[in-house]
Structure 1
Amino acid sequence: MPVLDVIETSCCAPLARAPIGEADAERVAAMFKALGDPVRLRLFSKVASSEGGEACVCDIQDVGVSQPTVSHHLKKLREAGLLESERRGSWVYYRLAPSALAVMADLLAPVRA
């Protein structure tokens, strides 16, 4: 499965304001599906809350599953457009993809009168 393109912040109007289009629904659904797994949600949270905005896999892999399973879950988060990664020597560092949180927050934002 190819890595999804980064979704721009202006992806979607809040769901309470306008129906979401088919293409945007596919991209955003992939993000929420990736976060629907408890291990992936914990890994995403560890990266998001890391000092400096990035985390080495060596610092976030303690989530109660084997290292190959951690790698599998991190790959799914990357494919969903939620994380970016960079190899430095023998370690891989992860950071949130630009605008990933903003897209989800904007979509779920309440409509203000």
Structure 2
Amino acid sequence: MEQIRKTFFILMILMVMGSCLYLNHIGPVLHQQGNPIAFIVSAFKLKLSSSEYVLLAKTEKRRRYLSQIKGNREYEVVKDFMISKGWEYKEQIGSGLIFSNNGEDAVVEVRQYSNEYFIWEIQKAFFN
């Protein structure tokens, strides 16, 4: 019985230490965009799904998505998404990706959130 207690105690200490190290690693990143809970939930959804993006936030005017950085293909997710909605990729200017459709231009704002994730925003009018 004493051996079981000792093993349980050691496992609990290791779990607490592992959790602290993990939170220390991602802690500063979590609060840079405000409420970190939406990011945590979206990051878990992204890790558990086969999708390349997940909806992070939605307002009446904008939608914000979270994607994982995968080598030099990080913006391909955004380009594929917009192409699937009927938009044609034109160029990148700074952190904005420019798309056109029937003479109208749309800008998708992209910003790196952490070493593993980036956030991209689209105005709602462009994907209805």
TM-score (norm 2): 0.28
User: Which of the two has greater strand per residue?
Assistant: 2
Larger RCO of the pair (alpha carbons < 8 Å, separation 6+) = 1
Structure showing greater radius of gyration is 2
